[in-house]
Amino acid sequence: MISAHKLQRQYQLYKMVVLLFLLLLVGVVAIPGYATGRWPWTNPPPVTNLKQLKTLRQEGLTLPGQQVIRIQNNVQIGGHRWLVQEIKEIQYPQRIAILLMLPQNGPKDQPQVEWLDIDGFHRWQRDADRPLRFTVELAPELAKIPNKPPPTVEAQFFRSWTPQQTFAVIQWYAWPNGGSPAPSRWFWEDSIARLSNRRASWVAVSIIVPIEPDADIKIAKPILESLGEIVQAKLMTEIFGL
């Protein structure tokens, strides 16, 4: 049986390791900036796939197994202009979904309050919040690094409703090797990428599926999980250039 004293020592050791790693990370980034006068947070590396991100903003995504019913770009939501695609499954045309995407717009653009903007835009109420995790299996010929573990995405998954309609929703920030709904996770990924003078470019993604009033959102989980995997895979291969 492990004593409380031993557990406390292990915890202190863990904190020291994390602190040393953070100090090393800051040192590697800050020392070159101090020497040259070019700080990475004021002079971020360029977004190498900015052209693809701008094309996405105008044209959207073509998704396998899905037909685009309608597409609108420059839909004003909060302080940003989003791309909105209404899609339906080719095999089951009654399955309708709304795909909203906000691509990064430049090297100083970073995720902030996109989910609050969407809540305000739709004026919906929400409950049943929970995480939804999925992995993205790329075809072998598309994977640049053989045998690399598939990237994992953690999305926020919840039910929302207005007086007229009820929905199941997933949301996340997609980046080249995964995704999360938390801006802090992107910041961490971007900080690591900057050590190699790269950026973790991003796209905010929200997928909305209509469901019956008071329905358990579990019924929509397989549909949203499948759509999430398709969207993330397309972004990784066509927009992020993996």
Q: How far is CA 55 from the centre of its chain?
A: 18
| 78 and 13 fall within a common domain | no
Note the residue count of the chain.
242
**Residue recorded with tokens 């039910």:** 159
The pLDDT score that the predictor gives to residue 85 is 96
For the chain, residues with pLDDT lower than 50 are 1-2, 4, 7, 11, 28-41
What pLDDT, on the 0 to 100 scale, is given for residue 19? 56
Residue 185 has a pLDDT of 94
CA–CA gap between residue 116 and residue 105 (Å, rounded) = 19
Residue 73 shares a structural domain with residue 137:
yes
* Residue showing tokens 């602190």: 19
- Which run of H or of E encompasses 129? strand 125-135
Q: What is the pLDDT of residue 27?
A: 52
Residue 34: the pLDDT is: 41
Structure tokens at 173: 């920030």
Q: Are residues 88 and 21 in the same domain?
A: no
10 and 124 housed in the same domain: no
Q: CA 94 → CA 34, 50, 165, 229, distances in Å?
A: 59, 35, 16, 20
Check whether residue 170 and residue 125 sit in a common domain. Answer: yes
Number of domains in the chain: 2
- 8 A C-beta contact, residue 69 and residue 94: no
**Are the beta carbons of 73 and 81 closer than 8 angstroms?**
yes
211 lies in the same domain as 182: yes
Comparing C-alpha atoms, which of 49, 53, 27, 23 is closest to residue 40? 27
Q: Model confidence over 55-66: pLDDT tens digits?
A: 999 999 999 999
Taking CB atoms within 8 Å and a gap of at least 24, the contacts of 20-23 are none
Count Cβ neighbours within 10 Å for each residue of 183-202 and write b for 16 or more, e otherwise: bebbeebbbebbeeeebbbb
Residue 229 to residue 128: CA distance in whole angstroms: 22
Whether residues 2 and 68 share a domain: the answer is no
Q: Which domain covers residue 27, as residue numbers?
A: 1-43
Same domain, 92 and 196: yes
Q: Are 154 and 179 in contact (CB under 8 A)?
A: yes
Q: Kindly report the CA angle at 221 between 217 and 222, in degrees rounded to 5?
A: 145
Q: Give the DSSP letter of residue 218.
A: G
- Contact between 183 and 199 under an 8 Å Cβ cutoff? The reply is no
In this structure, the answer to whether residues 58 and 84 fall within a common structural domain is yes
The verdict on 33 and 74 lying in the same domain is no
Quick one: 175 and 112 in the same domain? yes
Same domain, residue pair 97 and 203: yes
Residue found by looking up tokens 């691509």 in the block: 103
